[in-house]
Structure 1
Amino acid sequence: MNNNKQYYGQIISVILIWLLALNANAAEEKKYDYQDDALYLRFIQLTPLQIGSFYEGREFSKGAVDKLMASCYVTVIIKNRSNDFLWVDIAKWNFTRQGKVIKQQDRQYWDQQWDEINLKQAHRSTFNWTLMPAVRDLYPQESVGGRIPIPMQSEPFTVELNFPTGENKQGKMKTVVMDNVICKQDEK
């Protein structure tokens, strides 16, 4: 009988640890969400291996996959919850770490990378399709999502997202600051 109690005690301990880990993971994911009356944002973190697998599954060459895995991808889902236009203009988004600017790896940067390895146009198009549009108007209740590549970061950083509003960008600027964003790493 004592062995059964010990066995069940161990199972309950494992379940409690598992539930605490799930709760910790949910809390960690939640800090990358933002919502108010006008806007919903969610950041999704992918590891280098997840990025590599995605593109490898689309038959990108090893050279291309290696280049892709060396960067960090801030994947953002945005929903305009307002009754006005909200503009995505990633040139107005600032990435910083300890007061220093982290430069976005824009399409021109990637075109140079692809030219170096003679990446096929079909693969270039696939890659561009996964990126956040550089400029995009969001109608009321419309959503968009995509990746913004930056150099890999080993420390947390801040993303300041600035959204012009109004049909002709004549409205007030909507600003959201997300602190302690990370480049998710593969477990070793």
Structure 2
Amino acid sequence: MVKLLNFIVRIFSGLSGENSPYQKVCTYEDTVMLCKNDSSTCAFTVLDVRDIVRSLDELGSHNVATMLKLYTNALRLGKGTKVVVIAEVEPVDATYYERLLDRRIGVKVSEVLYEPSDIRAKLELERIVRLRRKIARGYEPFRLKLRYIVVTCNESDGKDLLSYHESRVKALINSLETLGVSTTFGNPKDVERLAKTLHNFR
């Protein structure tokens, strides 16, 4: 395990250097970046969170604990695979965000009126209305960009690793979906930029 983690650190550190040898051995397969050295290969996939349809303040304390346990389990993808979670936070102008929420409320109200049995739309509407009220009371909004980097490393060749890695990514996507977190594939080339950010905090 230590050997695996050290290799991941070297990959991230190597990607951060202008003359990195890893830059010469990284290739791209659709949504995956594959990086090799003499003895190991690592596959990287970036998942961007598109929407979260559940809020912790909608759950009781018992359900919060259950959700957190399920979330933790979702990030355990098996031997050789790790998940790096990166959150980027930036402030948002309150007036602009109020107008944005007002438009979203209007859209959701229309959806609920059109399909009264749509429970998901009702929950989203309630969540947006609560957030709108919080901002009206002085809450300062912010934009949170949440990303997952799925990293799988082993000593096999790229083809075997790619198949296993993609199965682990699919498992994470499905698990997050059941928890109300929808994701989309990010650009695997962003791994290099994110690696530089991680390297700066080491």
Structure number with higher relative contact order (C-alpha < 8 Å, ≥ 6 residues apart): 2
Q: Which has the higher strand share?
A: 1
Give the TM-score normalised by structure 2.
0.27
Q: Which has the higher helix share?
A: 2
TM-score, scaled to structure 1 = 0.29
